[in-house]
Amino acid sequence: MARIGFVGLGNMGAPMARNLVRAGHEVSVYDLSAGAMARAEGARPATSGAEAAGGAEFVLTMLPAGQHVREAWLGTGGLAAASAPETVLIDCSTIDVGTAREVAAAAGRPFLDAPVSGGVMGAEAATLTFMVGGPGDAFARAEPLLQAMGRTVVHCGEAGAGQAAKACNNMLLAISMIGTCEAFVLAEKLGLSHEALFEVASKSSGQCWSLTTYCPVPGPVPASPANRDYRPGFAAALMVKDVGLAQQAAAETGASTPMGARALELYREFVEQGGGGTDFSGIIRMLRGR
Ligand code: NAD
């Protein structure tokens, strides 16, 4: 059993903190919002982030974006200074690689970036995938804790490597989903049935996760959001955030990612048309309507 400070009890953080409590850990929690504080049953409420971090062996954050993470760890009354020198600090938010590296370097404590995939359902069911960057010894200490909230935990490399893996994976997903949608839209124009395209492409060189697990048309994969009017799932607005982070990384490193750039434009357009709250596979409706 470990003493843990957990800051950021939103849609993801609250169920993650609950799973740490269920695993038998002593969890002290803090969120700026009183409503969010009420969601971490079984945890000890703290009156500030610094109070939650004081005396903890691990401190975790699950916050919206890079500026919140920088402020929470390094700002006045920040979590890094409030933690003991040997405490392992873990940020699970999805943020840009540059901020992740900057906070890790400035924290003065072992620091891991550990963004997740799997969404709110994965957070509730403790089936998240963690992509982790940072020192190997800190990863070894943190791994059992991450296993209590997830199913797959991968050490990707040094500081920022977790955020890098998340950005690359989600850019690939954004592109492959648009490609899958375009194939179905073209099939419709050609009079080819969804079932026939699925039957062929799922067993040949067009095969990919966007087709076989998350099919953007109803029918072939009964559990995909297309079968429930594109209720998320993974909301298009979150996809815009993640592909935006990938494009920021591409601009900073000089990587050529023209398909990623186009995918970001198309998802932005979809969100501007009111699709932000629907599943990202719902972009097929916009493509069909063009
Ligand atoms: P959310 O907006 O529901 O929760 C964020 C919480 O952080 C809020 O309760 C807010 O009050 C709190 N907060 C902000 N600044 C704070 C501070 N300084 N101190 C204390 N609390 C603070 O967001 P979410 O959906 O839980 O997402 C959190 C992170 O996880 C984001 O980076 C997101 O990109 C990532 N993520 C989300 C999903 C998803 O499906 N929601 C999936 C994968 C990754």
ipTM here: 0.99
Which class for 83: exposed (0-12), middle (13-18), buried (19 or more C-beta within 10 A)? Answer: buried
Cβ(101) – ligand 1 distance below 6 Å: no
Q: Which atom of ligand 1 is nearest to the CA of 71?
A: 18
pLDDT in tens, 6-48: 999 999 999 999 999 999 999 999 999 999 999 988 999 999 9
Please answer whether residues 277 and 232 qualify as being in contact, where contact means their C-beta atoms are separated by less than 8 angstroms: yes
| φ and ψ at residue 28, rounded to 5 degrees | -110, 125
Question: Which residues of the chain form CATH 3.40.50.720?
Answer: 3-158
pLDDT in tens, 248-273: 999 999 999 999 999 999 999 999 99
Question: Which residues of the chain form CATH 1.10.1040.10?
Answer: 164-288
Of 74, 65, 120, nearest to 95 by C-alpha is: 65
pLDDT on residue 290: 84
Question: How many C-beta neighbours within 10 Å does residue 265 have?
Answer: 11
d(CA 139, CA 104) in angstroms, rounded, equals 13
pLDDT on residue 238: 96
Cβ(9) – ligand 1 distance below 6 Å: yes
Amino acid at 179: G
Residues forming a β-bridge with 116? 130
Whole-model pTM: value is: 0.96
Q: How much of the chain exceeds pLDDT 90, in percent? A: 97
3 state DSSP class of 159: coil
Q: What is the rounded average pLDDT for all residues in the chain?
A: 97
Among 7, 32, 117, 248, which residue has the most ligand 1 atoms within 8 Å of its CB, making it the best to mutate? 32
The residues that are catalytic are: 166
Report whether CATH 1.10.150.120 matches the domain 164-288: no
Of 18, 12, 7, nearest to 42 by C-alpha is: 18
Superfamily of the domain at 3-158: NAD(P)-binding Rossmann-like Domain (3.40.50.720)
d(CA 26, CA 31) in angstroms, rounded, equals 17
Determine the distance separating the centroid of ligand 1 and the alpha carbon of 61, expressed in angstroms.
9
Q: Is the pLDDT of residue 156 over 90?
A: yes
Tokens coding 187: 């099939």
Determine the distance separating the centroid of ligand 1 and the alpha carbon of 253, expressed in angstroms.
27
